Amino acid sequence: MIRAKSSFPVFIVDSISLSKEFYTKNFNFNIAFENEWYIHLVSDSGIQIGFMLPEQKSQPEIFKSSFKGQGAIFSLEVENAEDAFSQAKSNSLTILLDLKREDWGQYHFCIKDPNGIYLDIIESFTPTQEHEDGYA
C-alpha cells in the first residue's frame, strides 16, 4: 500500500504571477518556492498549492497543457463563511455562487480565481439527519 504523507494540487495556468497575487493577497498563502515557471504556495495552516506555466521543456507531455477551468474544484475550509464571503465581496472577487447552507453540512460560496480555477469556500457544520449516516 502507498502511504501518502502530504498532498497538494498543481494547476498548469497561463499566469503564475496572477495566481501568486490572488492567493497571497486574498488567502494569506506564503511563497515556499518560486522560479520563472513554477510557484509553490503554503498557508499558515499547511494548505499547499502549486502553479506551473504550460509547455515547459523539462516536463512530460501530459503536464504541458493549461488548465481550462472545467472539471475541478479547489475547496478551502474556513472558520466563518459569512466573514469570508464579506471579504470576498469587499475585495471584488468573482463570486459564482452566493453564500448557501447545504443539508449535507456545508455553508459555502464559490469564487473563480484569475486563471479560471473554481474555489469552494466552506464552513462545515453538523449535517441534517438525512445526510448524517454518510459521514464516517
Residue 73 sits in the same domain as residue 135: yes
Q: Does a structural domain hold residue 91? A: yes
Give the pLDDT confidence score for residue 59 in this predicted structure: 93
Element (H, E) at 129: helix 129-132
Between CA 121 and CA 119 the distance in angstroms is 6
Q: Does a structural domain hold residue 63? A: no
pLDDT at 16 exceeding the cut of 80? yes
Residue 36 sits in the same domain as residue 87: no
pLDDT at 53 exceeding the cut of 80? yes
Give the pLDDT confidence score for residue 134 in this predicted structure: 75
User: What is the arithmetic mean of pLDDT over 53-66?
Assistant: 94
Q: Does a structural domain hold residue 45? A: yes
Identify any residues that bridge with 34 across adjacent strands, giving them in sequence order: 39
Residue 75 sits in the same domain as residue 135: yes
Split at pLDDT 50, 70, 90, the class of 77 is very high
Between CA 66 and CA 71 the distance in angstroms is 13
Give the pLDDT confidence score for residue 69 in this predicted structure: 84
Residue scoring higher pLDDT (136 or 43)? 43
Domain range for 93 is: 68-136
Residue 20 sits in the same domain as residue 84: no
Give the pLDDT confidence score for residue 12 in this predicted structure: 97
Domain with residue 73: its CATH number is 3.30.720.110
User: What is the arithmetic mean of pLDDT over 47-53?
Assistant: 97
User: What is the arithmetic mean of pLDDT over 22-40?
Assistant: 97
Q: Does a structural domain hold residue 80? A: yes
Give the pLDDT confidence score for residue 82 in this predicted structure: 97
Residue 30 sits in the same domain as residue 93: no
Domain with residue 24: its CATH number is 3.30.720.120
| Residues 6 or more apart whose Cβ sits within 8 Å of residue 38 | 16, 50, 51, 52, 53
Give the pLDDT confidence score for residue 127 in this predicted structure: 85
The pTM (predicted TM-score) of the whole model is 0.90
Count of domains observed in the chain: 2
Give the pLDDT confidence score for residue 48 in this predicted structure: 97
Residue scoring higher pLDDT (136 or 89)? 89
